């Protein structure tokens, strides 16, 4: 089917949309265990960008797994499809000129590689929120680690499903030693030159 779909060349380009917004679009990808601090830091970075007049959008579990991807489970195949769809949505948003922030466990290295392929390596910044599992489990903000330990969740990342850490992330943050404000400063420092 796909071979019969022929792309139409529209008049307004990605570059023109980006110039109108006076910003360079990109994807800031937050990966890490549940409870590591991805959403908290992504939220704070989005606020910092917003205050500087940057047009953003934050993709995370609430607006994706409850909507677009509400037919997907946490099996390896469904996680791969989850991340693929998110990457395609992020790519459209990049095309629209936005700075996109995405906060997903995204435990598989190959899935994250695929995100880079889809959006383009130059548009991608990987933030590894590398908080030790002991700390994530102590926080247990949603009570999910307790459920997973009790055997009530069968493939919970870090407990009974793998997390493949990035080899060379662009930014790495351990929230046991870096505060939210410090994390924002580090991230803003790295992306300031790119936007
Ligand atoms: N089995 C299992 N493993 C990991 N996480 C689970 C699971 N079941 C539910 N949850 C909750 O769903 C959030 C992770 O969804 P993601 O879409 O980010 O996961 S993935 O990227 O497809 O692996 C994750 O949210 P965060 O805590 O924000 O990371 C969990 O709260
Ligand atoms: N330095 C920090 N950075 C980010 N979150 C932190 C930090 N210190 C404590 N926390 C707390 O850890 C929890 C992280 O939860 P959340 O951001 O939802 O993680 P995730 O999105 O990775 O599941 C929040 O309750 C947050 O207040």
179 in a known ligand binding site: no
Is the pTM higher than 0.95? The answer reads yes
First to last CA, the chain: 38
**Residue 8, pLDDT score:** 84
Structural domains for the chain: 22-191 (3.40.50.300)
Distance CA 20, CA 3 (A): 33
Query: Is 37 annotated as contributing to ligand binding?
Result: yes
Token pair recorded at residue 165:
């850490």
User: Torsion-angle region of residue 150: left (phi > 0), alpha (psi -120 to 50) or beta?
Assistant: alpha
Among protein residues, the one whose CA lies closest to atom 21 of ligand 1? 106
In whole angstroms, give the CA distance from residue 85 to residue 38. 19
- Beta strands across the sheet bearing 26-31: 56-60, 99-103, 26-31, 124-129, 171-173
Predicted ipTM?
A: 0.98
- Each residue's pLDDT expressed in tens, for the chain with a length of 195 residues: 678 888 888 999 999 999 999 999 999 999 999 999 999 999 999 999 999 999 999 999 889 999 999 999 999 999 999 999 999 999 999 999 999 999 999 999 999 999 999 999 999 999 999 999 999 999 999 999 999 999 999 999 999 999 999 999 999 999 999 999 999 999 999 999 889
3-state secondary structure of 163: coil
- The verdict on whether residue 75 carries a ligand-binding annotation is no
Q: Which protein residue has the closest C-alpha to ligand 2 atom 5?
A: 37
User: Ligand 2, residues 29, 40, 63, 103: which to mutate, most atoms within 8 A of Cβ?
Assistant: 40
Residue with tokens 């990966």: 31
| Active site residue ranges | 106
């Amino acid at each position: 089917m796909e071979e019969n779909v022929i792309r139409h060349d529209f008049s307004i380009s990605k570059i023109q949309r980006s110039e109108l917004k006076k910003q360079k679009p990109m994807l800031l990808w937050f990966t890490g265990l549940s409870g590591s601090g991805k959403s908290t830091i992504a939220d704070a970075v989005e606020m910092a960008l917003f205050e500087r007049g940057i047009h953003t959008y934050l993709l995370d579990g609430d607006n994706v797994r409850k909507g677009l991807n509400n037919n997907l489970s946490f099996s390896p195949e469904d996680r791969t499809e989850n991340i693929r769809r998110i990457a395609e949505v992020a790519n459209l948003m990049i095309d629209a000129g936005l700075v996109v922030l995405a906060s997903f466990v995204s435990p598989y290295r190959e899935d994250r590689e695929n995100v880079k392929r889809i959006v383009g390596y130059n548009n991608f910044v990987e933030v590894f929120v590398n908080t030790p599992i002991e700390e994530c489990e102590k926080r247990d903000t949603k009570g999910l680690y307790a459920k997973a330990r009790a055997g009530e969740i069968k493939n919970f990342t870090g407990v009974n499903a793998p997390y493949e850490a990035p080899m060379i992330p662009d930014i790495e943050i351990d929230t046991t030693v870096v505060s939210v404000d410090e994390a924002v400063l580090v991230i803003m420092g790295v992306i300031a030159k790119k936007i």
